[in-house]
């Protein structure tokens, strides 16, 4: 069973200072996992995890990962700005963007970041925006077709907008080499939220073989291979969690089989995990404020899909614990809903839970990645606070809740609106 990483008493204590809903993060869990990731790949001399900033763009949390030598994986101007402001040097910033505005290449290059080209036309864009090509470049690969794993997980790279075809990749390497690139990398992201230890090893086989070919055919010097993100977490309590040690060992076997015999035993491995680094160590805490009995039983909570979009967007399952009722029988069937004027604003549908009373705190699990960060302002709803539960049991607000003033701030250019709000 999934257990919350904190207690009802602690959450009530926090809620006296910081209004629900809020996202809470578990420092201890983040640290233990970051350490395990580091150890699982310690056999590779240049290994580095670049945390996918979009998953949880909070500097307090990213600073914890920084202690484990993680870098940042960015894909927008503000993500680059945040990474730069946090003091990450270029070696610790990966710019894996797509459909990239030219000024973002300039910002990335100013920071000395590793630029990962999503498309062949990126070569021209780089020359236009920078006036030159950096000495170190990564190219993103899309093999097309289907990518299937033995447990039935499947994704469809042929249908995805990312990366270059095989032919484009070989041409890009030739051209970039002619233009003076000295260090090359390749990158691919072929399946999302893979709850299996098999994904990285299988992806490694594809990328390592490709790297050997690229180096042999084009003479380009490949210094790193970026396995990107996609390592999954068990959102459902009955799923078996990934074991990062088994994953690291699986990748090592492929590395020794493919890269070492090709004389490429010095290639550094990079990852860009977001979900696996943070997902399980965050939760959305919300209070039941209504019950409604019509054709179904509804529990209305004070959070809504703007605080956690995954269920509404993908029908994603997020486990719910009713705090203080951990051991009560799950003998009530509820739709747990928010207040948006959208009928998909449901955190759970037909979920068996203990009887919920008004005032109960609900702990919605696994919101540490792609949770808060996917938020929005529909229906004029405001962004929630984020709270860090520290290792010593104390807590710290790491983002304040948005206020109506913040919400209206982008109208502040207009004298009429300033008058309306009496400013």
Ligand X SMILES: *Cc1c(COP(=O)(O)O)cnc(C)c1O
Known catalytic residues?
Answer: 341
Burial 137-163 (b: 16+ CB within 10 A, else e): bbbbbbbeeebebeeebebebeeeebb
- Least Å distance, CB 116 to ligand X, is 7
In whole angstroms, give the CA distance from residue 125 to residue 136: 16
List CB contacts of 414: < 8 A, sequence separation 6 or more. none
- For residue 44, the 8-state DSSP code is S
User: Which lies closer to ligand X via its Cβ, residue 52 or residue 305?
Assistant: 52
Residue with smallest beta-carbon separation from ligand X:
229
In whole angstroms, give the CA distance from residue 71 to residue 51: 6
Residue with tokens 């090509």: 133
Q: Where on the chain is the footprint of ligand X (CB under 6 A)?
A: 52, 54-55, 73, 75, 96, 189, 192, 228-231, 272-276, 369
- C-beta separation of 133 from 127 below 8 A: yes
User: Which lies closer to ligand X via its Cβ, residue 44 or residue 96?
Assistant: 96
Asked whether the bond before 151 is cis by omega within 30 degrees of 0, the reply is no
User: Which lies closer to ligand X via its Cβ, residue 77 or residue 382?
Assistant: 77
- C-beta separation of 203 from 227 below 8 A: yes
Q: Cα–Cα distances in Å, from 363 out to 2, 322, 333?
A: 11, 6, 17
In whole angstroms, give the CA distance from residue 136 to residue 176: 10
User: Which lies closer to ligand X via its Cβ, residue 100 or residue 384?
Assistant: 100
- Least Å distance, CB 94 to ligand X, is 8
In whole angstroms, give the CA distance from residue 353 to residue 334: 7
Nearest alpha carbon to residue 384 among 24, 77, 2, 4: 24
What are the φ/ψ torsions at residue 49 (nearest 5 degrees)?
A: -95, 125
User: Which lies closer to ligand X via its Cβ, residue 21 or residue 274?
Assistant: 274
In whole angstroms, give the CA distance from residue 236 to residue 199: 19
User: Which lies closer to ligand X via its Cβ, residue 52 or residue 312?
Assistant: 52
- Least Å distance, CB 278 to ligand X, is 8
- Least Å distance, CB 56 to ligand X, is 9
């Amino acid at each position: 069973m999934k257990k919350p990483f904190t207690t009802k008493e602690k959450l009530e204590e926090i809620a006296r200072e910081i209004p629900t809903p809020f996202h809470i993060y578990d420092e201890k869990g983040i640290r233990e996992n970051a350490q395990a990731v580091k150890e699982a790949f310690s056999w590779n001399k240049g290994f580095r995890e670049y945390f996918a900033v979009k998953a949880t763009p909070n500097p307090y949390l990213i600073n914890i990962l920084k202690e484990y030598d993680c870098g940042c994986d960015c894909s927008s101007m503000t993500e680059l700005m945040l990474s730069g402001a946090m003091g990450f040097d270029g070696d610790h910033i990966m710019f894996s963007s797509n459909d990239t505005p030219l000024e973002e290449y300039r910002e990335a290059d100013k920071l000395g970041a590793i630029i990962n080209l999503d498309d062949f036309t990126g070569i021209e864009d780089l020359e236009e925006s920078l006036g030159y090509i950096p000495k170190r470049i990564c190219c993103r690969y899309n093999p097309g077709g289907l990518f299937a794993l033995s447990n039935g997980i499947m994704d469809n790279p042929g249908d995805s907008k990312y990366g270059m075809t095989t032919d484009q990749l070989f041409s890009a390497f030739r051209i970039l080499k002619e233009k003076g690139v000295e260090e090359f990398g390749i990158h691919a992201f072929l399946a999302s939220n893979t709850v299996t230890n098999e994904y990285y090893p299988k992806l490694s086989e594809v990328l390592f073989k490709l790297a050997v070919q690229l180096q042999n055919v084009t003479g380009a010097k490949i210094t790193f291979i970026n396995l990107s993100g996609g390592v999954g977490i068990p959102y459902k309590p009955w799923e078996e969690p990934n074991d990062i040690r088994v994953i690291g060992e699986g990748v090592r076997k492929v590395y020794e089989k493919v890269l070492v015999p090709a004389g490429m035993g010095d290639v550094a491995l990079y990852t860009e995990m977001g979900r696996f680094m943070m997902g399980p160590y965050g939760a959305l805490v919300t209070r039941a404020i209504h019950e409604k009995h019509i054709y179904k039983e509804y529990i209305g909570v004070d959070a809504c899909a703007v605080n956690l979009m995954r269920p509404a967007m993908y029908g994603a399952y997020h486990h719910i614990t009713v705090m203080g009722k951990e051991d009560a029988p799950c003998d009530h069937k509820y739709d747990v809903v928010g207040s948006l004027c959208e009928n998909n604003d449901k955190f759970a549908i037909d979920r068996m839970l203990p009887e919920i009373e008004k005032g109960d705190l609900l702990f919605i699990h696994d919101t540490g990645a792609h949770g808060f960060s996917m938020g929005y302002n529909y229906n004029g709803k405001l962004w929630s606070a984020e709270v860090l539960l520290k290792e010593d049991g104390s807590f710290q607000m790491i983002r304040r809740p948005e206020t109506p003033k913040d919400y209206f701030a982008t109208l502040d250019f207009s004298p009429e609106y300033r008058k309306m709000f009496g400013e």
